[in-house]
Amino acid sequence: MLHYPLIKISGPTYFEIGRDYGRQAKELIAHSISDYKQVFAMSSDRAWEEIQEFALSFVGITRREMPEVMEEVEGIAEGSGFPLADIMIVNCRYEITKFPKKNECTTGAILPEAAKDGKMYMVKNWDYRVGIMDHVVILHITQPDGTRIVGLTEAGQVIRGGLNSHGVAMEGNNLQSIYDAWDVGIPTTFVRRQALKLDTLDKVKELFCEFPRAVSCNLMAAGFKEKQAIDFEIHPKGTDLIYPEQGVLTHANHFVVQPKIHALQRSPRDARLRELLMEKHGEIDVNYIKCCMADHENYPQSLCRHPPIPTQPLFMRSITVSNIVIDFEEQVVHICAGPPCTGEYRTYVL
């Protein structure tokens, strides 16, 4: 049964955190870089050296706006022994792979009014390529200020989603708008890492509404202290907020607030997840959430994804890479490696 490796990292500075991570994950980072070389050779007319140059163009704005995250990335390069340009490609892969267009991921939040025993959850099915499944990692980070974070990412990337010890959680989905461009802003992965450093939902809201961006993304955040969740539809010209209805919030890969700016085929997954969650409103628990995320209605555009195009190379085919269920009250995350209909969950303590 597939399980993703857990890597525990810490250090007195963000650079040292990154170096610790790079040292421990060196072999997995090699898989990650090799995978993206293969992907771009098949899907892009740009040479690896041109992609390296583009990825390095993000360094200046990131160093200025989020210096600690940039230090962490530089530490990953130092610890792993790979050039910063290659580590930046892995961390900017969302911006680089925005073209051609694609659908990825379903997220949701369940507030106490909708959950059993007044608990609170966040959930995500991470839909991407089969090819990353040999280098997905679970990170447990202890920051210099003592903040702890646990969540998922690709080896060589900073953490891209999860829960921190302040009760703040966030996850993301792909969004593509008519305004997206091959241009420079703060990479989305860096923004997600920055959010997990913060101690209140208000601070996350300020970050998500204000950071400079060249492409669209959807970010969902929740705060256990506030007992609230917010979805952020982010595009180069602004940010639109969506709040829970009856304690349930779901999102997939299309713009809800401004559908006219949407550039992808509309997905049924957010509506399907909401429908399933509302069937047990007031009684939703971890086991029921896991069942919901294993749903196959509307296949191949189902919540639980499986490789649907046999003519594609296997590493390029779409699959649910993982499911994560965040339990705020218990301060744990339940993670399934691979599609939740067949995978096995393990529980990781914050």
- Residue 171 phi, psi (nearest 5): -145, 170
User: Does residue 100 register a pLDDT over 60?
Assistant: no
pLDDT of residue 312: 82
Residue pair 156/80 in contact (Cβ under 8 Å)? The answer is: yes
Most confident of 44-48, 84-88, 300-304, 309-313: 84-88
Helix-helix angle 67-80:14-24, to 10 degrees = 30
pLDDT at 43: 84
Vertex 186, ends 48 and 241: CA angle to 5°?
Answer: 130
Specify if 266 maps to a domain. yes
Question: Which string of DSSP letters, residue by residue, matches 198-219?
Answer: -SSHHHHHHHHHHS--SS-EEE
User: Do the domain assignments include residue 183?
Assistant: yes
Q: Name the E strands within 74-147.
A: 106-110, 121-129, 136-142
Q: Is the pLDDT of residue 202 over 70?
A: yes
Give residue 103's pLDDT.
63
Domain containing 107 equals: 101-349
Angle at 294 between CA 124 and CA 242, to 5 degrees: 35
Token pair 């892969």 is found at 93
Task: Give 146: exposed, middle or buried? Use CB within 10 Å, 0-12, 13-18, 19+.
Answer: exposed
CATH assignment at residue 161: 3.60.60.10
Return all residues near 83 (Cβ < 8 A) that are at least 6 apart.
52, 77
Determine, yes or no, domain membership for 208.
yes
pTM: 0.96
Q: Any idea which of 19-23, 289-293, 307-311 has the lowest mean pLDDT?
A: 307-311
Q: Which residues pair with 217 in a beta bridge?
A: 174, 234
- What integer best gives the mean pLDDT of the chain? 95
Q: Which residues of 63-93 are buried (b: 16+ CB within 10 A; e: fewer)?
A: eebbebbbbbbbbbbbbbebebbbbbbbbbb
The residue whose two tokens read 């890479």 is 321
Confirm whether 11 is domain-assigned.
Answer: no
In a domain, 19, yes or no: no
For the chain, the domain total comes to: 1
90 assigned to some structural domain:
no
Residue 108 lies inside a defined structural domain of this protein: yes
Band of residue 266 on the pLDDT scale cut at 50, 70, 90: confident
Residue 9 in any domain: the answer is: no
